[in-house]
Structure 1
Amino acid sequence: MVAANPDAEGDRVTATPRTRSPWWRRLGLLALLLALGGGLAYLDQRNERAPAPAPSDPAGEPDYFLEDARMTRFDEQGRAYQRLDTPRMVHTPVDDVIRAEKPHGYLIDDDQREWQITGDQGRLADNGNLLTLEGNARLVQPTKAWSLETQTLHYDNRSAHAWSDTSSVLRQHNQTMRGDRFDAWINQNRMRLTDNVQGRLPQQSEDQGS
């Protein structure tokens, strides 16, 4: 502490006491740091991909499910005849059915052509021999550029037969046809549209086939 000298006229020194930061300011700073650390930890946890919960199905509890899966089926000669990619695949043992979300795959015929298939949902039953696509189902022929769009599409790999009993739209180049029944035999490269068929078939300069 410095005091003023009363005998020294004109020389006056005033002491300034040292102030301390109030306790509530120090506590607020500590709380801010803790909140910042907690927020960063939460963001790190959100960035880590957590596994999706095990799916449930009316058929019962699944015995396994796969994410970002690719399934390829082979014949007795070891040749691939069916390939299916899906972000999520579930198998239920009660009915022995594989269900796939957003399947995107290929049916491989005897000439090794790949017929592209897609849908919102897929279902493999009958020991994997029967494939059913539900919702925005699509089948694309690989060489003649025709494509089928329908709600439900079935495929039996034993007979290489694809068919739909729901309203189907067949497109090829600038041609469009619609019918209530569709059939295709991929090993024969043959298709048929029947029942209430109607469409637009403009004249073409050359025969592009069907």
Structure 2
Amino acid sequence: MPVSLVAPPRPAGAVAGPGGGLTYLDQRGENGQEPVIGNTVGEPDYYLEDASMTRFDERGRAYQRLETPRLVHTPSDDIIRTEAPHGYLTDDQQRQWQVTSQTGQLSRNGEQLTLQGDARLIQPEQAWSLETQTLHYDNREAHAWSDTPSVLRQHNQTMRGNRFDAWIDEDRMRLTDNVQGRLPQQSEDQGS
């Protein structure tokens, strides 16, 4: 003889709550792709304090050096982020071009460096300096550029433009788009 069990009546919310929770837990287990702890998007896998990083070419010559109070690497995008970086880019004549900014990013394989916030590039021999908001540098082409308004200074001369390019191995620089400048007159005894 069949036996039936009858439960006392419950409010509808009490039945739906636990049932919905069990359904959710059951569905979570089906996909099997739970995030790995410590390796989620944007979470760093390591950081260094008071770090100094030097990159070398295939001949063992240093071509890029960065010093920073804090360096953070995120594996999801393979980017190294730095605070207040100060560094040097070495050209093919072994001259060191100084770079500084408020923050910096070194992309995959270290081929592109992006400096943001009061970014500066200082040329060692001709005493010119560039100030801009964002400065990019591509190691493969030894090309520095900015698409943000830039100020170029050399001695008492100042030039402004909306785009800046420099090829450090060629010792060549270009300032374009809405260029304005202040070039003080030199006295005759200073020459041309």
- TM-score in same-fold range (> 0.5): yes
Counterpart AA for 2:115: L
User: CA separation in 1, counterparts of 2:147 and 2:86?
Assistant: 21
2:63 maps to which of 62, 65, 81: 81
Deviation at 1:206, TM superposition (A): 4.5
Q: 1:116 aligns with which of 94, 98, 113?
A: 98
- Partner residue in 1 for 2:173: 191
Structure 2 CA distance for partners of 1:164 and 1:206, relative to 1, 3 Å = farther
Count of aligned pairs? 151
RMSD value over aligned CA atoms? 1.5
Change (3 A) 1:182 1:77: same
Could you list the runs of 4 or more consecutive aligned residues of structure 1 that deviate by over 3 angstroms after TM superposition?
none
TM-score by length of structure 1 reads: 0.70
What is the match of residue 43 of structure 2? 61
Alignment-derived partner of residue 177 in structure 1 = 159
Indicate the structure (1 or 2) with the bigger Cα radius of gyration: 1
What is the CA–CA distance in structure 1 between the aligned matches of 2:97 and 2:41, rounded to whole Å? 30
Counterpart residue number, 1:160 = 142
Deviations 1:75-107 (A, max 9, x none): 000000000000000000000000000000000
Alpha-carbon distance between aligned partners in 1 of 2:89 and 2:55, rounded to the nearest angstrom: 10
- Tell me the CA shift for residue 124 of structure 1: 0.3
Match of 1:145 in 2: 127
The structure-2 alpha-carbon separation of the partners of 1:135 and 1:206, relative to structure 1 and needing over 3 Å to count, comes to farther
Cα distance in 2 for residues equivalent to 1:166 and 1:71:
27
Pairing 1:94–2:76 present: yes
Q: Which amino acid aligns with 1:86?
A: T
Q: How far apart are the structure 2 equivalents of 1:178 and 1:59?
A: 39
Unaligned regions of 5+ residues in structure 1, if any?
Answer: 1-57
Gaps of 5+ in 2: 1-39
Tell me the distance in 1 between the aligned counterparts of 2:141 and 2:167. Answer: 8
What is the SS of the residue equivalent to 1:127?
helix
- The superposition leaves residues 151-181 of structure 1 with CA deviations (integer Å, 9 ceiling, x where unpaired) of 0000000000000000000000000000000
Distance in 2 (CA, whole Å) between partners of 1:199 and 1:103 is 29
Q: TM-score, normalised by structure 2?
A: 0.76
